Amino acid sequence: MEKQILLVDDEEDIRDVLSVYLKSNGYEVYPAENGEEALKSFRKYKPPVVLSDIKMPGMDGIELLRKIKLESPDTEFIMITGHGAMDLAIASFQDQAADFITKPINVNMLDVALKKVREKIVSRRLLREYTENLEKLVREKSELQSHLSSLGLMIGSVSHGIKGLLTGLDGGMYQVESGFSKENTQQIEEGWKIVKLMVERIRKMVLDILYYAKERNLNWENVDVLSFAGEVAMVVERKISSGNIEFIRDFDASAGKFEIDSGCIHSALINILENAVDACTRDKSKERHRIIFKVTPDEKNINFEVCDNGTGMDMETREKLFTLFFSTKGTRGTGLGLFISNKIIQQHGGSIKVSSLPDQGSKFTISIPKTTPGCLKDKSVSES
Ligand SMILES: Nc1ncnc2c1ncn2[C@@H]1O[C@H](COP(=O)(O)OP(=O)(O)O)[C@@H](O)[C@H]1O
Ligand SMILES: [Mg+2]
């Protein structure tokens, strides 16, 4: 600990004697002959201890004590009092002087006072360190806890999902085997289709989970909106197997460029478009379906619209659809898709709006700023 002390007394002899004594005890001493000078010196050197005469012309010791305590409550003050100034000494305690010694100064008394003050400073420093450590621990613990509880949820939901998919896989394998033993090619083919489908779903689930679990920084690039949207559309078109779903691109040619992590926004849009495909496939109430994928710029944003005439959603689903693991698709869904999309879009400073009616279809509107606010750019994915 630094041994610095501000020494204030109007009597030169006392200053000299005490200076010599304190220096010989390893202190760095800043002498001052009055309150004003002392205050100046205090502001310059910020010593942890002040040793000051109580009665001085001009600003007296008590006033100095009050001023210093106001600026620096942790600074310790030892008052030097003459005989007959006991009442002043006692008053100084009320202003939080740590101790006082009387004139003529007895160095043993001074040593005791200094020792006391130093102990006080050390224990205050330790206490502060403990408190800071404790706060840090509490913070880390609650972060860990929320990670753990979402991990627990995740493991439960994922095991459940994978168990269902494995049962499907077993069924497919059984078909294949039994087809082989009966030399029934058609049965083999049907079984093989199921096996491929199940493997594809397990792959998708695992990829989604990996995506969610990974911590990464966004990789910002300037991207041409139309070619980007074209690539996204192509991926979805390839996935539409039924001839009864029409996929319509409606791109505004003047869309220009925007600043995004293209990998992330790509996944976010694919998740939303895949849900639209699912909603059409699952909807048995209509013969034909269509999905419109629209892109329009406005002054600040690029707006993507995904509109389907599939199953639509009831109110409960509309309220929960962004919740982690919420899915109405049973073993076919993971409930990760929209959770991830929402997170990604937020990280881009964008927004998602949903409107939907049961049996009529749904519309998702995603707005992403053309240039991302600087403050978002150095954030990593796990933080928000
Ligand atoms: N276009 C849509 N039409 C109808 N329901 C939807 C649509 N998009 C999302 N949903 C509902 O939101 C739920 C959550 O979606 P998501 O997070 O992608 O999980 P998953 O697709 O694995 O179920 C879906 O299970 C579904 O009920
Ligand atoms: Mg989905």
Q: Is the CB of 161 within 6 Å of ligand 1?
A: no
Q: For atom 11 of ligand 1, which residue has the closest CA?
A: 321
In ligand 1, the atom with minimum distance to the C-alpha of 361 is 3
- The Cα–Cα gap between 34 and 56 comes to 7
Q: Is residue 214 pLDDT above 80, yes or no?
A: no
In ligand 1, the atom with minimum distance to the C-alpha of 332 is 22
Q: Check whether residue 365 and residue 264 sit in a common domain.
A: yes
**Would strands 289-297 and 245-251 be described as parallel, antiparallel, or unpaired?**
parallel
**Residue range 145-166: mean pLDDT, rounded:** 74
- What separation in Å is there between the alpha carbon of 321 and the centre of ligand 1? 6
What per-residue confidence (pLDDT) applies to 268?
Answer: 93
Q: Check whether residue 335 and residue 265 sit in a common domain.
A: yes
Asked whether 80 and 105 are in contact (CB, 8 A), the reply is: yes
Q: Check whether residue 227 and residue 352 sit in a common domain.
A: yes
Q: Is 231 part of a structural domain of the chain?
A: yes
**Residue range 210-216: mean pLDDT, rounded:** 67
Q: Check whether residue 240 and residue 310 sit in a common domain.
A: yes
Q: Is 348 part of a structural domain of the chain?
A: yes
Q: Is residue 30 pLDDT above 60, yes or no?
A: yes
What per-residue confidence (pLDDT) applies to 216?
Answer: 65
What per-residue confidence (pLDDT) applies to 378?
Answer: 60
Domain end residue (candidates: 105, 131, 165): 105
What per-residue confidence (pLDDT) applies to 384?
Answer: 37
What per-residue confidence (pLDDT) applies to 6?
Answer: 97
Domain end residue (candidates: 190, 213, 236): 213
- What separation in Å is there between the alpha carbon of 148 and the centre of ligand 2? 24
**Residue range 140-167: mean pLDDT, rounded:** 74
Q: Is the CB of 352 within 6 Å of ligand 1?
A: no
Block residue for tokens 């004590």 = 65
What per-residue confidence (pLDDT) applies to 382?
Answer: 43
| Best mutation site among 280, 304, 321 for ligand 1 pocket (most ligand atoms within 8 Å of CB) | 321
10 pLDDT band, cuts 50/70/90, is very high
Retrieve residue 22's tokens.
């304190």
- CB burial of 259-276 (b: ≥16 within 10 Å; e: otherwise) equals bbbbebbbbbbbbbbbbb
Q: Check whether residue 281 and residue 355 sit in a common domain.
A: yes
69-120 confidence digits (pLDDT tens): 999 999 999 999 887 777 777 777 777 888 889 888 899 999 999 999 999 9
- The Cα–Cα gap between 6 and 26 comes to 14
Q: Check whether residue 282 and residue 253 sit in a common domain.
A: yes
Q: Is residue 296 pLDDT above 90, yes or no?
A: yes
Q: Is the CB of 337 within 6 Å of ligand 1?
A: yes
What per-residue confidence (pLDDT) applies to 193?
Answer: 92
Q: Check whether residue 359 and residue 231 sit in a common domain.
A: yes
* CATH number of the domain encompassing residue 341: 3.30.565.10
Q: Is residue 373 pLDDT above 90, yes or no?
A: no
Domain end residue (candidates: 105, 137, 161): 105
Q: Is the CB of 281 within 6 Å of ligand 1?
A: no
- What separation in Å is there between the alpha carbon of 236 and the centre of ligand 2? 13
Q: Check whether residue 226 and residue 352 sit in a common domain.
A: yes
State the residue range of the domain holding 294: 221-377
* CATH number of the domain encompassing residue 43: 3.40.50.2300
Q: Which of 93-107, 239-253, 363-377 has the highest mean pLDDT?
A: 239-253
Q: Is 178 part of a structural domain of the chain?
A: yes
Q: Is 226 part of a structural domain of the chain?
A: yes
| Best mutation site among 211, 236, 275 for ligand 1 pocket (most ligand atoms within 8 Å of CB) | 275
Q: Check whether residue 28 and residue 161 sit in a common domain.
A: no
> Of 95-99, 190-194, 228-232, where does mean pLDDT reach its minimum?
95-99
Q: Is 121 part of a structural domain of the chain?
A: no
Q: How many domains does the chain have?
A: 3
CA atoms within 13 A on the CB side of 121: 21
- What separation in Å is there between the alpha carbon of 342 and the centre of ligand 2? 12
In the chain, the percentage of residues whose pLDDT exceeds 90 is 64
Ligand nearest to the CA of 306: 1
Q: Check whether residue 232 and residue 352 sit in a common domain.
A: yes
Q: Average pLDDT over the chain, rounded to whole?
A: 89
Q: For atom 7 of ligand 1, which residue has the closest CA?
A: 275
- What separation in Å is there between the alpha carbon of 331 and the centre of ligand 2? 12
Q: Is 120 part of a structural domain of the chain?
A: no
Q: Check whether residue 206 and residue 234 sit in a common domain.
A: no
- What separation in Å is there between the alpha carbon of 267 and the centre of ligand 2? 11
Asked whether 273 and 302 are in contact (CB, 8 A), the reply is: no
1 pLDDT band, cuts 50/70/90, is low
Q: Is 134 part of a structural domain of the chain?
A: no
**Residue range 124-149: mean pLDDT, rounded:** 80
Q: Is residue 383 pLDDT above 60, yes or no?
A: no
Q: Check whether residue 348 and residue 329 sit in a common domain.
A: yes
Q: Is 122 part of a structural domain of the chain?
A: no
